[in-house]
């Protein structure tokens, strides 16, 4: 393994570590200091800290308490993490959007997988709204996945536009 690839994997793992650390610390603070469904206003009319759980995936899709769902979502997460790491390690076109994108998505997915194993659901708490219009609550891991996905889209868009 040459030095540049080694450095890239170290960078990837460092970003993953930071995302998982930030995600798990914030979720632990929420679980330790709020009751389930408790709301703490931060910016009146715009942002609350609201402790909720999600047994499904994005926006509560596939939510439920069935054991098969729990096991299925964990398996999907593990397969996705393995595929993402394999993709990153074998990518021939290195770029900062690729590094940041894959490591943010990986870290976010790992953070939510840790919740699924620990709590059998994902802890969400960031609650943004404008008047009666609420965005579904989310967490640091979800934010990392979203930002990482945008960076990956940018990476692939740039690669596609460079090819004849």
Using one digit for the tens of pLDDT, what is the confidence trace for 130-144? 988 989 999 999 999
Distances in Å between the alpha carbon of 162 and those of 87, 89, 132, 148, 158? 20, 22, 45, 21, 6
The total of structural domains in the chain comes to 1
- What is the pLDDT tens value at each position of the chain, 164 positions in all? 444 555 588 999 999 999 999 999 999 999 999 999 999 999 999 999 999 998 865 555 555 566 667 788 788 899 999 999 998 888 877 788 999 999 999 999 999 999 999 998 999 999 999 988 989 999 999 999 999 999 999 998 887 766 55
What's the domain range around 36? Answer: 3-162
First CA to last CA distance, the chain: 31
Q: Using a cut of 0.75, tell me whether the model's pTM lies above it.
A: yes
Taking the C-alpha atoms of residue 142 and residue 112, their distance in angstroms, rounded to an integer, is 8
Contact 60, 52 (CB under 8 A): no
Catalytic machinery residues: 124, 142
């Amino acid at each position: 393994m040459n030095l540049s690839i080694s450095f890239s994997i170290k960078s990837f793992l460092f970003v993953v570590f930071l995302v998982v650390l930030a995600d798990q610390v914030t979720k632990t603070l929420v679980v330790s200091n709020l009751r389930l469904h408790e709301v703490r206003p931060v910016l009146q009319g715009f942002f609350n800290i609201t402790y909720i759980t999600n047994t499904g995936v994005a926006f509560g899709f596939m939510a439920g308490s069935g054991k098969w769902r729990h096991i299925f979502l964990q398996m999907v997460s593990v397969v996705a993490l393995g595929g993402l790491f394999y993709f990153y390690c074998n990518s021939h076109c290195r770029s900062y959007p690729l590094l940041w994108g894959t490591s943010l998505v990986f870290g976010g997915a790992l953070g939510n997988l840790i919740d699924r194993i620990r709590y059998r659901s994902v802890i969400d708490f960031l609650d943004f709204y404008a008047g009666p219009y609420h965005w579904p609550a989310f967490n640091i891991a979800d934010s990392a996945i979203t930002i990482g996905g945008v960076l990956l889209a940018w990476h692939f868009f740039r690669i596609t536009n460079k090819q004849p």
